[in-house]
């Protein structure tokens, strides 16, 4: 199987994994919880906090309930895949590394129109923002490129760089198909399977769930529970489990949004509630890393070691 | 002649935000000139230089800057001579300290007479610094002062800029100036197009910059004159002709597109004709806003299923770029189609309750609250301007409902327009759907006004409610802060009243709107007048932009007409009056009368006693005034100020005669009072239209 010019969805993932492993990233697996973006994975959001260097690459399934179209739109989905790369501190040649990854997928920048178009990223619920671009491939947004400036309300020093590939869109370009459901997922000795074979029914049913069937009262209750649990976990100094409650609250909020159960002011209030939790987690996480002596920092020479009075 | 050399600075960066690019480059240019001037490096006979920018660079070229500051003398004053030496004539500590600070001995100091007595002084000879020494600091300062909304950091560095900086060119004449700015080393190497010419390009001379980038680097930099914008619009027009279409070129979009490319290449693409069933505005929004494509129309103005995109590459396989761009547009249009279909399943009227959940302004309630207030106000206005109050009320109730539709959620700029389409689909009367579609108008300078009477009533009510509500909550615009866009709303409102000739007393409308506001200001009356003055101020700007003289506006404003249409008629009358030969004399006469009356202590309370008019000139004037009083009364009542003033022009000769032959400030107080009363009468006649005494007469 050739990894260059990946012919299937799965070989695209394998190619990107190979490429970023060669660059030295830690290859991780998806977070096993519903999230709206790869950024929510602790390997990005939490690792962006504090002075420790870090680099990781992983696939993350994403759920965006409001983006569902009952499987009727050729490229809008309420469940799709991102390939996430996070490097901290952001390297000087970060853009070039990204462009090389596209070349590794067989895309020639002298054939395709590849551009970085301003798109500043902000996650109100995570209290995080950064500056960067969406990357256009012949007019299609295929990636998001961000230099984090703040996460959980904390300044990012050093700055981490984040690349998020929209896998389906890149695959549509590589396979030259017009509908995401026509993408070839795998094509081996056991036969050919399309993206639609894997996910179309899921798109239809989940769209019904997100827009119509999700039970609003339960969701409200669930949100309150997550908030309460998160606060209690923070009191017990357990930032990582507390963060999982933030993620659950955030997804619950997204479902309420899809059900149009929130007025504008209520929506703001819910965002603020999640952000408050995320901030609490960020601060607690920073403290916990500090207590561990920031283990990922390169070992410093003894004479440079600060003596805390 | 002082030596000058050409100067070039270029900041090479990761892709800069397109919308701010021109402003950023121009600010850098201005900052540099200011810094050079304050460092005495700006020549006496400067030439402006050039501003260049592209997504990856900002550059300023100045044909000449001074290579060195002039040497200069600076006198420093030290202690008083009396405190500089002790009784024995030996220098004191103060004197020695001062000498040390100048780097000399006390014997080299000289006494100097000043206002504060005799002091020790020393004249320092300061050698001028070279531009090469000063430029790094000058450039750093100029960059630090750029109006960047959000600065960012990158990597482990402390430097902050719009985006990470990768290289910097800094040249004086043929020489590169070495410095460390924003974390990079300056030099004489630039870089070309990201893909066409990624290698370094060495500059030999600052003046070569733009040409070398184009020839070698495959980069077309934009300049202040918009040469790239012009080039792109020519490309687009040419490409449009190939498919027998005409491009719809939005200037803002052109500039944005130009700021997104270094090597523009047009691509003509097409989409499925079935999408042409969507409203034009929706297709245009998808093409322009979401994709930055230029829409095409046929000779009759009908949209074509083509678009033109501007790519940034001379592709080896243009068809790949084209089919890629075509692939993006289909899901976008499909999405728009999805909203168009699903939105129409729910009537606007049945969405009214949803507006309760959408906040307009925290202190002013929801959009449902706003709609209720606007409906009442629109009905009142409709009645006054002779249209159907029930239609206006209904239109106002429905006007904001499209805010909760999917389409407007996706394309906020289609608010109103979608409401119009959906109302028509719901079977609302045409007058109502048209009114909803046009009630945000005029939304920018030069935008069309609402055409239907109902649309006008609704537009006025909607804008007035926003203005009055915001004033009531104490958030009127100040300085350059106008977060709610009240100035634009006010200008739009006044334009509708004046240009559509709608007769309505604004202060009454303001009162009615104010009475409905949830935010309760401390006192009503002063606020009504404050809002009214705010609206008049917009009218003043409007007139100035349309060539009406400021003094003409003030002459009418002095009369405080509460009805903008009435205001407008007076302005027109004064404008026409100014073109007739008698105007200047009568304006001067009014000024003279105003002065005389002011000096005499204001109005005499008296009426004119005809028996006491002795001089023929004053009798003639009185008779003329009496006659004109009768003649103009119906004209004034009908708002016909043009003919009012034309009639009053007849007074020129009697007034001239009067001032020639009659002495107003008569020693006899009875006669004097009578003549003052006569002048008051005369002045009142003119004042029925405007205070002509305020007109410029020279």
User: How many beta carbons lie within 10 A of that of residue B386, not counting itself?
Assistant: 10
What is the C-alpha to C-alpha distance for residues B426 and B347, in angstroms, rounded to an integer? Answer: 6
Contacts of B308 in chain A (CB under 8 A): none
The pLDDT of residue B483 is 80
Residue extents of the structural domains in chain B: 4-69+130-223, 72-126, 227-343, 349-547, 581-694
The pLDDT of residue B475 is 87
Beta-carbon-side half-sphere exposure of residue A71 (alpha carbons within 13 Å) = 16
Whether residue A305 is predicted with pLDDT greater than 60 in this model: the reply is: no
What is the C-alpha to C-alpha distance for residues B451 and B75, in angstroms, rounded to an integer? Answer: 72
Q: Average the pLDDT over A259-285 and give the result.
A: 89
b/e per residue B334-347 (b: at least 16 CB within 10 A): bbbbbbbeebeebb
B460 token code pair: 């006025």
Q: Which CATH superfamily is domain A9-210 in?
A: Bira Bifunctional Protein; Domain 2 (3.30.930.10)
The pLDDT of residue A300 is 61
A123 near A39, Cβ under 8 Å? Answer: yes
The pLDDT of residue A309 is 41
Reported as a single tens digit per residue, the pLDDT across A28-60 is 999 999 999 999 999 999 999 999 999 999 999
| Nearest in space to B446 (alpha carbons), one of B492, B494, B489, B493 | B492
B 90-149 near A (Cβ less than 8 A): none
Whether residue A301 is predicted with pLDDT greater than 70 in this model: the reply is: no
What CATH architecture does domain B581-694 belong to? Orthogonal Bundle (1.10)
Task: Note whether B4-69+130-223 and B349-547 share their fold.
Answer: no
CB B155 to CB A263 under 8 A? no
The residue behind tokens 């309930």 is A65
pLDDT, averaged across chain A: 93
Reported as a single tens digit per residue, the pLDDT across B328-339 is 999 899 989 999
With the C-alpha atoms ordered A173, A177, A179, A180, is the resulting torsion angle positive or negative?
negative
Task: Please classify residue B481 by burial: count the beta carbons closer than 10 Å to its beta carbon, then call 0-12 exposed, 13-18 middle and 19+ buried.
Answer: exposed
B321 — contact with chain A (CB < 8 Å)? yes
The pLDDT of residue B154 is 96
Reported as a single tens digit per residue, the pLDDT across A158-178 is 999 999 999 999 999 999 998
Give the best residue of A109, A113, A147, A258 to mutate against chain B (max B CB count within 10 A): A113
Contacts of B356 in chain A (CB under 8 A): 263
Report yes or no on whether pTM surpasses 0.90: no
Q: Average the pLDDT over A107-120 and give the result.
A: 96
Q: Alpha helix (H) ranges present in chain A?
A: 9-22, 42-45, 94-104, 167-175, 195-208, 216-235, 239-258, 264-291
Hey, which residues does A302 pair with through a beta bridge? none
The residue behind tokens 């030996």 is B90
Backbone angles phi, psi at B322, to 5 degrees: -65, -50
Contacts of A168 in chain B (CB under 8 A): none
Among the ranges given (A26-30, A67-71, A94-98, A303-307), the one the predictor scored with the smallest mean pLDDT: A303-307
Give the best residue of A89, A92, A118 to mutate against chain B (max B CB count within 10 A): A118
b/e per residue A186-207 (b: at least 16 CB within 10 A): bbeeeeebbbbeebbeebeebb
| Nearest in space to B650 (alpha carbons), one of B679, B680, B686 | B686
What CATH architecture does domain B349-547 belong to? Orthogonal Bundle (1.10)
The pLDDT of residue A4 is 53
Query: Quick one: fold of B4-69+130-223?
Result: Alpha-Beta Plaits (3.30.70)
What is the C-alpha to C-alpha distance for residues A183 and A15, in angstroms, rounded to an integer? Answer: 17
Residue extents of the structural domains in chain A: 9-210, 214-291
What is the C-alpha to C-alpha distance for residues A260 and A177, in angstroms, rounded to an integer? Answer: 33
The pLDDT of residue A1 is 42
Q: Which CATH superfamily is domain A214-291 in?
A: Class II aaRS and biotin synthetases; domain 2 (1.20.58.180)
Contacts of A130 in chain B (CB under 8 A): 152
B286 token code pair: 């998808």
Reported as a single tens digit per residue, the pLDDT across A175-218 is 999 899 999 999 999 999 999 999 999 999 999 999 999 999 99
Q: State the DSSP code for B273.
A: G
Reported as a single tens digit per residue, the pLDDT across B96-122 is 899 998 888 888 888 888 888 888 889
The pLDDT of residue A306 is 52
Q: In which band, very low, low, confident or very high, does the pLDDT at A3 lie, cut at 50, 70 and 90?
A: very low
> CB within 8 A of B684, min separation 6: which ones?
none
* Mean pLDDT (10-residue bins), chain B, 698 residues: 89 94 94 94 85 97 93 87 86 90 88 86 89 96 93 93 97 96 96 97 96 96 94 97 94 95 97 97 95 95 96 96 93 92 96 88 90 97 94 97 92 94 97 97 91 97 95 87 89 95 92 90 84 94 92 92 93 92 87 86 75 89 92 91 90 90 84 88 90 85
Contacts of A264 in chain B (CB under 8 A): 357-359
What is the C-alpha to C-alpha distance for residues B62 and B6, in angstroms, rounded to an integer? Answer: 6
Contacts of A111 in chain B (CB under 8 A): 313, 315-317, 320-321
In angstroms, what separates the C-alpha of B1 from chain A's closest C-alpha? 46
Give the best residue of A92, A133, A139 to mutate against chain B (max B CB count within 10 A): A139
B4 — contact with chain A (CB < 8 Å)? no
CB B14 to CB A95 under 8 A? yes
């Amino acid at each position: 199987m050739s990894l260059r010019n990946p012919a299937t969805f799965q070989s695209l993932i394998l190619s990107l994994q190979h490429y970023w492993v060669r660059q030295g990233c830690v290859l991780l697996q998806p977070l096993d919880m519903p999230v709206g973006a790869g950024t929510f994975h602790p390997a990005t959001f939490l690792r962006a906090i504090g002075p420790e260097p870090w680099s990781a690459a992983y696939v993350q399934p994403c759920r965006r309930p409001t983006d569902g179209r009952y499987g009727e739109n050729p490229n809008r989905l309420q469940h799709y895949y991102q390939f996430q790369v996070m490097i901290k501190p952001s390297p000087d040649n970060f853009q070039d590394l990204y462009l090389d990854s596209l070349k590794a997928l067989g895309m020639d920048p002298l054939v395709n129109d590849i551009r970085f178009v301003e798109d500043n990223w902000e996650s109100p619920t995570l209290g995080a923002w950064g500056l960067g671009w969406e990357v256009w491939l012949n007019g299609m947004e295929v990636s998001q490129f961000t230099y984090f400036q703040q996460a959980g309300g904390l300044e990012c020093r050093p700055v981490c760089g984040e690349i998020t590939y929209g896998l389906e869109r890149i695959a549509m370009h590589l396979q030259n198909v017009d509908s995401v459901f026509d993408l070839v997922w795998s094509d081996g000795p056991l036969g050919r399977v399309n993206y639609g074979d894997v996910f179309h029914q899921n798109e239809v049913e989940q769209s019904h769930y997100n827009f119509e069937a999700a039970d609003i009262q339960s969701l409200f209750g669930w949100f309150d529970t997550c908030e309460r649990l998160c606060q209690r976990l923070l009191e017990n100094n357990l930032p990582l489990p507390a963060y999982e409650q933030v993620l659950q609250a955030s997804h619950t909020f997204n479902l309420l949004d899809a059900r149009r159960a929130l007025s504008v002011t209520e929506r703001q209030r819910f965002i603020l509630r999640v952000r408050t939790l995320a901030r609490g987690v960020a601060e607690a996480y920073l403290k916990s890393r500090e207590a561990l002596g920031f283990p990922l920092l390169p070992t410093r020479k003894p004479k440079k070691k600060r003596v805390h009075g | 002649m002082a030596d000058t050399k050409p100067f070039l600075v270029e900041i090479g960066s990761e892709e800069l935000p397109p919308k701010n690019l021109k402003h950023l480059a121009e600010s850098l240019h201005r900052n540099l000139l200011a810094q050079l001037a304050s460092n005495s490096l700006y020549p006496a006979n400067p030439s402006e230089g050039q501003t260049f920018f592209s997504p990856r660079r900002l550059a300023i070229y100045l044909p000449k800057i001074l290579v060195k500051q002039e040497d200069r003398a600076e006198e420093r004053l030290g202690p008083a001579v009396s405190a500089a030496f002790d009784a024995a004539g030996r220098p004191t500590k103060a004197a020695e300290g001062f000498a040390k600070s100048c780097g000399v001995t006390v014997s080299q100091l000289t006494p100097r007479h000043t206002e504060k007595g005799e002091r020790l002084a020393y004249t320092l000879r300061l050698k001028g610094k070279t531009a090469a020494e000063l430029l790094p600091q000058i450039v750093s300062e100029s960059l630090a002062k750029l109006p960047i909304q959000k600065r960012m950091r990158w990597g482990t560095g402390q430097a902050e800029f719009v985006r990470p900086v990768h290289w910097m060119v800094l040249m004086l004449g043929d020489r590169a100036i070495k410095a460390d700015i924003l974390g990079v080393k300056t030099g004489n190497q630039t870089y070309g197009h990201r893909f066409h010419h990624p290698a370094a390009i060495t500059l030999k001379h600052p003046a070569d910059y733009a040409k070398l980038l184009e020839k070698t680097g495959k980069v077309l930099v934009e300049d202040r004159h918009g040469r790239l914008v012009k080039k792109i619009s020519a490309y687009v027009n040419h490409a449009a002709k190939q498919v027998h279409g005409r491009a719809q070129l939005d200037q803002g979009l052109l500039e944005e597109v130009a700021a997104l490319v270094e090597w523009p290449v047009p691509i003509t693409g097409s989409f499925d004709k079935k999408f042409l069933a969507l409203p034009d505005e929706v297709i245009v929004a998808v093409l322009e806003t979401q994709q930055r494509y230029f829409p095409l129309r046929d000779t009759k103005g009908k949209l074509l299923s083509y678009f033109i995109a501007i790519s940034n590459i001379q592709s080896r396989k243009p068809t790949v770029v084209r089919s890629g761009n075509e692939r993006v547009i289909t899901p976008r249009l499909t999405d728009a189609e999805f909203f168009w279909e699903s939105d129409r399943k729910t009537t606007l009227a049945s969405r009214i309750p949803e507006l309760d959940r959408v906040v307009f302004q925290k202190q002013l309630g929801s959009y449902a609250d706003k709609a209720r207030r606007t409906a009442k106000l629109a009905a009142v206005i409709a009645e006054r301007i002779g249209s159907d109050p029930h239609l206006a009320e209904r239109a106002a109730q429905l006007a904001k409902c499209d805010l909760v539709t999917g389409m407007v959620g996706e394309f906020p700029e289609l608010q109103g327009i979608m409401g119009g389409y959906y109302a028509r689909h719901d079977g609302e009367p045409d007058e109502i759907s048209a009114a909803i579609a046009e009630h945000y108008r005029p939304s920018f300078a030069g935008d069309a006004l609402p055409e239907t009477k109902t649309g006008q009533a609704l537009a006025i009510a909607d804008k007035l409610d926003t203005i009055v509500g915001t004033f009531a909550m104490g958030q009127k615009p100040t300085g350059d802060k106008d977060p709610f866009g009240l100035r634009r709303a006010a200008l739009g409102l006044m334009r509708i009243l004046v240009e559509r000739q709608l007769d309505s007393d604004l202060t009454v409308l303001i009162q009615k709107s104010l009475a409905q506001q949830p935010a309760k200001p401390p006192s009503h009356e002063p606020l009504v007048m404050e809002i009214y003055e705010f609206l008049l101020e917009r009218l003043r700007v409007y007139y100035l932009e349309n060539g009406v003289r400021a003094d003409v506006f003030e002459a009418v404003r002095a009369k405080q007409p509460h009805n903008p249409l009435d205001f407008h008629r007076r302005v027109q009358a004064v404008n026409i009056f100014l073109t007739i030969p008698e105007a200047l004399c009568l304006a001067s006469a009014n000024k003279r009368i105003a002065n005389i009356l002011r000096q005499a202590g204001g109005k005499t309370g008296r009426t004119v006693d005809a028996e006491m008019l002795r001089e023929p000139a004053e009798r003639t004037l009185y008779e003329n005034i009496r006659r004109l009083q009768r003649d103009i009364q119906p004209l004034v009542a009908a708002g016909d100020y043009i003919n009012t003033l034309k009639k009053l022009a007849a007074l020129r000769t009697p007034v001239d005669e009067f001032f020639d032959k009659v002495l107003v400030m008569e020693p006899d107080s009875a006669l004097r009072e009578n003549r003052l009363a006569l002048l008051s009468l005369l002045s009142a006649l003119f004042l029925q239209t405007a205070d002509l005494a305020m007109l410029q007469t020279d």
